[in-house]
Chain A
């Protein structure tokens, strides 16, 4: 995918609006998904999406992207920073977000109403606990579980060491275990 984007990146560097739009079309889904999973609502997610791409295109014009850096991972890093900055500005250090807008899980139709209710309740509980995590821990969890990223990839996206990512994930796991204790099967 990245190799296919090289020409678009070169054109976008020269200010080609069509190339910028192409890069936007190819990457918008991932960036919006990250922002939405982190923020829990579409208004903040749209703001983050716009800010991330605008910053990326302005930086691209100043040739900050060198040949060895792939556009998608570079953009992802910008998006991660924008996401955390967005909530740092708006809500301060303990920026618990509301997840009311998050849609319920998709039903396969074969499940009983009671079973579906139990599953939905369990997921709502996880989402709520996730929303109470500090910014960096929450970002590490979102990248790990929603974006299916490995430790090394998260470290690149968050601009820190692998050790730091492992520490953030472990602290997040400890906090989630504490909050979800009654509903978890493994801890009993």
Chain B
């Protein structure tokens, strides 16, 4: 056994766990090696000094310590406030802060939203009468004189038209369906036309006149009013 082996087995030997040839070899090295013998003696002396320190330890206030332990180990219950449990108040406070935060964020970071339609163009009409009122200036204008609605406005009107068309199909209103089909044709032309081209504007004017849309719309509105009165 070398010195390193002796040092490795020192504490196992002190524990009395070194037996047989290992123990004999350990003790033989301890007798033969002065450095290891000194290490062994010092280890024993230091241990003896520490173990010999048998002075009584001043006792603490055991009851006070127990009270603190019990308080720390007992799960805290939330005491009610104004008849409500504290968790409910905490939840309400959190919700209020969240709502205020969202409102503030919308106010600061989002652009202001118009009260009417989200895109440019006239308000959405839910009855044919309203729709025709909105449509009147678009149809009545003279395309040949350059008075053509914006393509965005035409697209918006087309959206409105498809809604009314679906309703007309549901109610089997053949007259309205036919009128809307003609209007659709005109609006599609406006939506896709080149506004700088006078020839396209002229053809659009011809189409409107050919279909007789302004008159048809007036008649439709009048007949609807009459039927409502009856």
| Interface residue ranges, A against B (CB under 8 Å) | 17, 20-21, 24, 28, 32-33, 36-37, 42, 45-46, 49-51, 53-54, 57-58, 61, 102-106, 122-123, 126-127, 130, 141, 144-146, 148, 150-151, 165-166, 169-170, 173, 176-177, 180, 184-187
User: CA–CA, A29 to B180, complex, Å?
Assistant: 96
Residues of B within 8 A of A37 (CB): 57
With known contacts A50-B69, A54-B69, A57-B69, A103–B7 Cβ distance under 8 A = no
Given contacts A46-B65, A145-B51, A148-B51, 13 further A-B contacts (CB under 8 A): A32-B57, A32-B60, A42-B58, A53-B69, A58-B72, A141-B50, A144-B47, A150-B15, A173-B42, A180-B46, A184-B42, A184-B45, A186-B45
Residues of B within 8 A of A28 (CB): 62, 65
Interface residue? B43 (CB, 8 A):
yes
Interfacial residues of chain B within 36-95, with CB under 8 A of chain A in the complex:
37-47, 49-58, 60, 62, 65-66, 68-70, 72-73
Interface residue count on the B side (C-beta < 8 Å): 37
Residues of B within 8 A of A146 (CB): 50-51, 53
Residues of A within 8 A of B53 (CB): 105, 123, 126-127, 146
B49 touches A151 (CB 8 A): no
Residues of B within 8 A of A17 (CB): 70
A186 touches B56 (CB 8 A): no
With known contacts A50-B68, A50-B72, A106–B49 Cβ distance under 8 A = no
B46 touches A122 (CB 8 A): no
User: Nearest Cβ distance between residue A9 and chain B, in whole angstroms?
Assistant: 14
User: Nearest Cβ distance between residue A32 and chain B, in whole angstroms?
Assistant: 7
**How would you classify the secondary structure of chain A's contact residues: helix, strand, loop or mixed?**
helix
User: Nearest Cβ distance between residue A21 and chain B, in whole angstroms?
Assistant: 7
User: CA–CA, A33 to B57, complex, Å?
Assistant: 7
User: Nearest Cβ distance between residue B149 and chain A, in whole angstroms?
Assistant: 73
Write 26 A-B pairs (CB below 8 A) sorted by A numbering.
A17-B70, A21-B66, A24-B66, A28-B62, A32-B57, A37-B57, A50-B72, A51-B72, A57-B69, A57-B73, A102-B55, A103-B55, A103-B56, A105-B52, A127-B53, A145-B50, A148-B51, A150-B17, A169-B11, A173-B46, A180-B46, A184-B46, A185-B41, A186-B39, A187-B41, A187-B42
